[in-house]
Amino acid sequence: MAVKYRILVADDEDSFREILNSQLTKAGYEVHLAADGEEAITCLGEKKIDVVLLDIRMPKVSGIQVLKYVSQNCPATKAIMLTGFADLELAMEAKQYGAVDFINKPFSLDDVISSVQQAVKRS
């Protein structure tokens, strides 16, 4: 049986979480959801996550703060940053903390699936 990769989608917008959940599940991934950075960190502490899709701007704990947690505590987890705000400084900071990709909203679902596929190949 093929390995089922675990994906965490952390985004404060319900519609984005649900769309990504649906599409990633159809693509054969085990998907976990978090509505904010605190939930994302809790999930990362409880489960082995292969790839985390992180919205940069979330309530309570930002995506960059979650990314820092990932780099320090879950080095095997690959992070893909999602943002509605094209910000070169944030992109550079995300790369510094190990983000493997940076996707701007609105995004193509094919681009997200492709980015996740590339990330799991690196794990």
pLDDT category of residue 105 using cuts at 50, 70 and 90? confident
Q: Provide the β-strand partners of residue 21.
A: none
User: pTM of the entire structure?
Assistant: 0.93
Q: How far apart are CA 109 and CA 43, in angstroms?
A: 23
Asked if pLDDT for residue 86 goes beyond 80, the answer is no
pLDDT digits (tens, 9 = 90+) for 31-69: 999 999 999 999 999 999 999 999 998 989 999 999 999
User: What end-to-end distance do the CA atoms of the chain give, in Å?
Assistant: 18
Nearest to 106 by CA among 33, 16, 14: 16
Q: What architecture does CATH give domain 6-122? A: 3-Layer(aba) Sandwich (3.40)
Higher pLDDT, 121 or 2: 121
Q: What is the mean pLDDT of residues 63-87?
A: 91
Q: Provide the β-strand partners of residue 81.
A: 54, 102
Higher pLDDT, 110 or 83: 110
Instruction: For the chain, give every domain's residue range.
Output: 6-122
